[in-house]
Amino acid sequence: MAKYRQALILYNIKEREFLIAQMTADVLREQGLADEVIIGQVYEVIYHIYDYEPELVISCLPRDDYSTAMFTMVKLVHRCAWVSIPPEGFMALEAGKMKQVTGFNRQPKELVDRVMFWGSGLAKAAGQLMLENGKISSGERIGIFGYLPYEDGVIRKYREETEQVRQIKKRTGEYRRTVMAVTARMAIPVPLQEFEKLYDPNDREQNERVRKRHNSNEYFADRYIQLLKKVAEQNEDILFLIKLHPRDIRTMHARDLQKTRFDELKSVPNICLIDEPVQISTYFDCIDLLIHYGSTTAMEAYIYGIPTIGIMNDHPDTQYDSLGRANFYADRRFDVGRAAEVSACVRQGLSFDGNEETAKALKRYMNYREGEPYQPSLLLAEQIRKLPESQLLSTGDPEVRTALGRRNALKCRFVFRLRRMKGLFTGHKDESMRILSWLKRYREACRGRVTALPPNGSSQ
């Protein structure tokens, strides 16, 4: 018999978290941990959760007051066990990045029963921040399991043999060697305003950093594309696969772009653009070299024994930039302006000799140990199987009242009193849904989407 009758897995951003949600659902089913598993987008499914009554919820950590209030409400109503898995593994563990992991909010420390991190580096940095800020009740509720997409037995199910994949793999046999290059956030030039709107317009110092970062990003994106084109033109007997990042693909489709930076690559006969969101490891069995500029795919390539070339940003303001910085792992590194040297290296080829720096990073950030079976799915299943009883929340707890807001905490008390009076009242379900709806309207009002809150917190 499964430990949980019903489990709910919530994701926020589809391109970043949906795959992890699918894989987690597979683990629950295959390991017999849940009879029924449902996957939903957090802000879409949360208002329809009442009838489902999950016994286990797996989600990202709540990042803002809105999601904190919603998650707190769900746990109050259902008393379910709660597991959180951060959606990202950060390679830089500075305070700003850790704040993105743990959230900009005040959640009750009993909300999350276990937090599962990819590796010890993130668990130590983010876990310590959660303990210091009272976002988790004890260090014993912090676990490590690894990164599911790097487990070959797990990711194999998600490698799609699409028509494009078949055609490209067929073409690889016509060339002496196949090289893959990855992209991210460079489909089109990004206006400065898209950077500035993320920050306080009154903070001159911050805005100056934003402008420098913007200039560095745009400089690198233009020259990276030019480098790929030159290297391909100088090596006509080598096939170059340009794997577009899902974010670039989404940008192109969402804006229906007629022109992108990638257009100039299409005129080179030995370049193939991979413009569908397939798993990058789908192509790992047919490539000899990977070119990147700070992507975690460098770590994934290491697991498969593929050598890598890292392209670095030589712009004077690169310290403000996230594109082409030097804090990544590669067998060889070249500045973005040194196309001739990159071309010579590609022509000669690289052998995979292992990279101590990358091996250490894999262990620290992904819980990967060379020479040992990599099975994060089993570690995740074991942690959930040993999950203790859910920590119960109370509307009398000041932390819970802070998370919900005083008005909604009082409403919760009313709801629970109705629930205890079984058979006498049936209004508690509608009242709970009204609270959830009111929270949504409250957030929308804060964002300026509606002009005013409905009277008395109703959903009308």
Check residues 196 and 458 and name the one with the higher pLDDT: 196
Q: Are residues 239 and 181 in the same domain?
A: yes
Q: Are residues 224 and 131 in the same domain?
A: no
> What's CA 430's distance to the chain center, in Å?
34
Using the predicted structure, report yes or no on whether residue 320 has a pLDDT greater than 60.
no
Domain presence at residue 446: no
Q: Are residues 288 and 356 in the same domain?
A: yes
In degrees, to the nearest 5, what angle opens at C-alpha 404 toward C-alphas 401 and 407? 80
Residue of 272, 417, 298 whose CA lies nearest to 350: 298
Domain presence at residue 342: yes
Domain presence at residue 426: no
Q: Are residues 50 and 76 in the same domain?
A: yes
Q: What is the pTM of this model?
A: 0.80
CA dist 409 → 404, 421, 452 (Å): 6, 19, 21
Using the predicted structure, report yes or no on whether residue 376 has a pLDDT greater than 70.
yes
Q: Which pLDDT does position 309 carry in this prediction?
A: 94
Domain presence at residue 284: yes
Q: What is the pLDDT of residues 187-220, one digit of tens each?
A: 888 776 666 555 556 777 777 777 888 888 889 9
CATH number of the domain residue 23 falls in: 3.40.50.2300
Using the predicted structure, report yes or no on whether residue 133 has a pLDDT greater than 80.
yes
Check residues 403 and 448 and name the one with the higher pLDDT: 403
Torsion of CA 360, 366, 367, 372, to 10 degrees: -80
- For the chain, first and last CA: distance in Å? 43
Give the end of a domain, one of 317, 349, 368.
368
Check residues 15 and 40 and name the one with the higher pLDDT: 40
Domain presence at residue 424: no
Q: Are residues 142 and 229 in the same domain?
A: no
At position 13, the amino acid (one-letter code) is I
Q: Are residues 41 and 125 in the same domain?
A: yes
Average pLDDT (340-355) is: 92
Q: Are residues 280 and 180 in the same domain?
A: yes
Q: Which pLDDT does position 440 carry in this prediction?
A: 58
Give the end of a domain, one of 404, 420, 450.
404
> What's CA 127's distance to the chain center, in Å?
18
Give the end of a domain, one of 344, 368, 392.
368
Q: Are residues 291 and 360 in the same domain?
A: yes
Residues in the chain: 460
The mean pLDDT value of the chain amounts to: 81
Q: Which pLDDT does position 302 carry in this prediction?
A: 92
Q: Are residues 36 and 140 in the same domain?
A: yes
Q: What is the pLDDT of residues 43-90, one digit of tens each?
A: 777 656 666 788 999 998 877 777 788 888 888 778 899 999 987 656
Q: Which pLDDT does position 455 carry in this prediction?
A: 35
Domain presence at residue 411: no
Classify residue 418 by burial, with Cβ atoms within 10 Å: 0-12, 13-18, 19+.
middle
Domain presence at residue 44: yes
Q: Which residue segment(s) compose the domain that 295 sits in?
A: 162-368
Check residues 104 and 341 and name the one with the higher pLDDT: 341
Classify residue 250 by burial, with Cβ atoms within 10 Å: 0-12, 13-18, 19+.
middle
CATH number of the domain residue 228 falls in: 3.40.50.2000
Q: Which of 125-134, 398-407, 410-419 has the highest mean predicted lDDT (pLDDT)?
A: 125-134
Q: Are residues 281 and 332 in the same domain?
A: yes
Using the predicted structure, report yes or no on whether residue 250 has a pLDDT greater than 50.
yes
Q: Are residues 143 and 168 in the same domain?
A: no
Domain presence at residue 443: no
Q: What is the pLDDT of residues 77-104, one digit of tens each?
A: 788 999 999 876 566 676 767 777 777 7
CA atoms within 13 Å, Cβ hemisphere of 9: 22
Q: Are residues 122 and 170 in the same domain?
A: no
Please tell me the total count of domains within the chain.
2
